[in-house]
């Protein structure tokens, strides 16, 4: 039987296989850490968004879905991420001023909600 490689030649091949496996494992760990960080951020954002949603529900009063839609509309009209709109609204409970563009769009959204309820 003819041997394709000698034991001396196999060592670099084995090292390459182990290194490739290590590299794949490292890539997977990096990817999982990134996903974990994204999930942590999403959970933190979600809590603030839910608080803001509750505030809108108390102001309007309206359903949770309508409060969500209003916050999304404010976010889109102001070109500000939803989590930042929510954080700004929640910060008003700590005596922070709501930025003027968000304030303006929130007023418009609340007026639209009230007008829709009168119909």
Q: What is the pTM of this model?
A: 0.69
Per-residue pLDDT tens over the stretch 1-24: 555 555 566 666 556 666 777 777
Per-residue pLDDT tens over the stretch 67-84: 999 999 999 999 999 999
pLDDT on residue 43: 87
Compute the average pLDDT of residues 53-68.
94
Three-class HEC string of the chain: CCCCCCHHHHHHHHHHHHHHHHHHHHHHHHHHHHHHHHHHHHHHHHHHHHHHHHHHHHHCCCCHHHHHHHHHHHHHHHCCCHHHHHHHHHHHHHCCCCCHHHHHHHHHHHHHHHHHHHC
């Amino acid at each position: 039987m003819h041997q394709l490689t000698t034991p001396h030649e196999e060592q670099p091949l084995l090292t390459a296989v182990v290194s490739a496996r290590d590299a794949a494992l490292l890539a997977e760990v990096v990817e999982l850490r990134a996903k974990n960080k994204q999930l942590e951020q999403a959970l933190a954002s979600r809590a603030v968004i839910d608080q803001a949603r509750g505030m809108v529900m108390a102001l309007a009063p309206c359903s949770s879905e309508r409060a969500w839609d209003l916050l999304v509309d404010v976010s889109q009209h102001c070109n500000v991420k939803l989590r930042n709109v929510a954080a700004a609204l929640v910060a008003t409970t700590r005596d922070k001023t709501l930025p003027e563009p968000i304030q303006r769009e929130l007023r418009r959204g609340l007026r639209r909600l009230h007008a829709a309820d009168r119909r």
